[in-house]
């Protein structure tokens, strides 16, 4: 009897615990994310399960005392409408808070306003000088959307845990040691001031300079860089200006003549959006595997595309393709908009597996125009050329041909298994 009672108690206890866990999980699910509108602030005060709220979008014009009490599970808080001055006790109860977004705030922050638990801070309209010690050392990510004040002494460099800094409107000088040595990601959208030696910490791996168009010299950019995006930059580049070690390089407006060693030999992913000069051997280093050129519509010298390139994307290109211009090694070719030139045998290397023709392509495809290695072809919107596609044009290796819905020729029986018509 005693053994039976023990078994019953253990089973009952397990069922009770399971039911309690289920109940709390359901409360978390139902109350995880809450939005309190301006005219319904009492909802937060009177919320029956506010201890389960993890993400809160709050729209107060005023900030009543104690309005954020008892939010023990709150991790993510966005305060949208409040424009007033915070008091040190306003956010102090939020000991679990990790992410804070203050959308309208543009009053000068004081010490102890931002809780020391915050790891991600977003200030949308804030444009005040940031005093020392105002931002907590716990920050790992800081986003300042409208901030455009000089960086004061110890404004940022004391943030020893900061990994990511986003300055969308900032355009003042960056002096050596203004930024912390812990930074890994730096995004400067409007910044367009000359760089100084050590302006950018040697810890930075991802750097985006959107509006920057000042001359670069060797060692101005840190050797730690892996990913570099220069959207408006169009100053001449010389060997050594870009550090070796970059693997992802995007040059948005760059349209100066390339040459040997200008693009570092470490780059594997290269985007040249506005570049439109004849492409010569040595312009693209032999490390590049993915090459994208948006506005390029010039001659490609034989050997200019290195053997390392596996994927080639040409947006505006509309020139005849000389045999050998696209080197052996390229496996995927994409013509995005303009290409509409007749093909000849050898236009595409025998390594190619996938060809995406542009929306404008409408040329006759002849036997041997498509290499035997190709397994997939995608035709663009305009393709409707006579004679119709026939099986003797393609090799037996081809597995799929995608044509647009306006392709109006009969599909041969022996190609019905591989031709897919868009609906």
Beta bridge partners of 400: 376
- Residue 415: the pLDDT is 76
Residue 366 — pLDDT band, cuts 50, 70, 90?
A: confident
Beta strands in 44-192 (DSSP E): 55-58, 76-79, 99-102, 120-123, 141-144, 164-167, 185-188
Residue 35 predicted with pLDDT over 60: no
DSSP letter (8 states) at residue 280:
-
- Mean pLDDT of the 220-225 span: 97
Cα gap 218→187, rounded to integer Å:
21
Whether residue 110 contacts residue 87, with contact meaning beta carbons closer than 8 Å, is answered with no
Among the residue ranges 49-58, 218-227, 238-247, the one predicted with the least confidence is 49-58
Which residues, 6+ apart, have CB-to-CB distance to 266 below 8 Å?
244, 245, 246, 247, 287
User: Reduced to 3 states, what is the DSSP secondary structure of residue 271?
Assistant: strand
pLDDT score at 380: 86
- Would you place residue 423 in the very low, low, confident or very high pLDDT band (cuts 50, 70, 90)? low
The model's pTM: 0.85
What 3-state DSSP class applies to 87? coil
- pLDDT, tens digit, for every residue of 118-142? 999 999 999 999 999 999 999 999 9
pLDDT class of 112 with cuts at 50, 70, 90: confident
Candidates 414, 377, 370, 363; CA nearest to 394 is 370
Domain boundaries along the sequence of the chain: 1-31
- pLDDT the model gives residue 403: 87
* Residue 46 pLDDT grade (very low, low, confident, very high; cuts 50, 70, 90): low
Predicted confidence at residue 410, as pLDDT, reads 79
For the chain, percent of residues with pLDDT exceeding 70 = 82
Query: End-to-end alpha-carbon separation of the chain, Å?
Result: 73
pLDDT digit string (tens) for 305-360?
A: 999 999 999 999 999 999 999 999 999 999 988 999 999 888 999 999 999 999 99
Please report which confidence band the pLDDT of residue 267 belongs to, taking 50, 70 and 90 as the band edges: very high
């Amino acid at each position: 009897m005693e053994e039976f009672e023990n078994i019953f108690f253990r089973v009952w206890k397990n069922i009770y615990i399971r039911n309690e866990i289920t109940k709390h999980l359901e409360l978390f699910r139902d109350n995880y994310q809450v939005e309190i509108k301006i005219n319904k602030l009492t909802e937060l005060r009177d919320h029956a399960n506010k201890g389960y709220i993890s993400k809160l979008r709050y729209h107060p014009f005023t900030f009543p005392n104690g309005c954020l009490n008892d939010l023990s599970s709150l991790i993510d808080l966005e305060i949208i409408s409040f424009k007033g001055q915070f008091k040190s006790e306003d956010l102090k109860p939020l000991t679990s808070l990790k992410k804070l977004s203050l959308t309208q705030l543009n009053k000068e922050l004081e010490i102890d306003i931002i809780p020391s638990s915050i790891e991600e801070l977003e200030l949308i309209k804030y444009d005040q000088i940031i005093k020392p010690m105002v931002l907590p050392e716990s920050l790992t990510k800081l986003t300042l959307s409208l901030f455009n004040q000089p960086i004061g002494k110890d404004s940022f460099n004391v943030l020893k845990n900061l990994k990511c800094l986003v300055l969308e409107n900032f355009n003042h000088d960056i002096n050596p040691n203004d930024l912390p040595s812990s930074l890994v990601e730096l995004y400067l959208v409007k910044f367009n001031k000359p760089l100084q030696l050590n302006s950018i910490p040697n810890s930075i791996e991802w750097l985006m300079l959107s509006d920057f168009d000042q001359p670069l010299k060797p060692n101005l950019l840190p050797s730690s860089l892996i990913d570099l995006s220069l959207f408006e930059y169009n100053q001449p580049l010389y060997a050594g200006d870009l550090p070796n070690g970059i693997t992802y390089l995007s040059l948005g407006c760059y349209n100066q003549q390339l040459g040997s060693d200008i693009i570092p030999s470490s780059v594997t992913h290269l985007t040249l959006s506005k570049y439109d000069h004849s492409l010569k051997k040595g312009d693209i280093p032999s490390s590049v595997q993915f090459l994208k050129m948006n506005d390029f519509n010039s001659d490609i010298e034989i050997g200019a595309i290195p053997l390392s390139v596996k994927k080639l994307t040409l947006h505006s290109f509309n020139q005849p393709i000389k045999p050998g211009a696209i080197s052996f090694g390229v496996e995927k070719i994409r013509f995005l908009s303009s290409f509409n030139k007749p093909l000849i045998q050898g236009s595409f290397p025998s390594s190619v597996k996938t060809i995406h023709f542009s929306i404008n392509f409408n040329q006759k495809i002849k036997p041997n125009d498509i290499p035997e290695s190709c397994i997939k072809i995608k035709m663009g919107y305009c393709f409707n050329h006579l004679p119709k596609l026939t099986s003797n044009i393609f090799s037996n290796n081809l597995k799929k041909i995608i044509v647009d819905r306006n392709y109006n020729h009969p599909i041969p029986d022996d190609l019905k298994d591989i031709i897919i018509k868009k609906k």
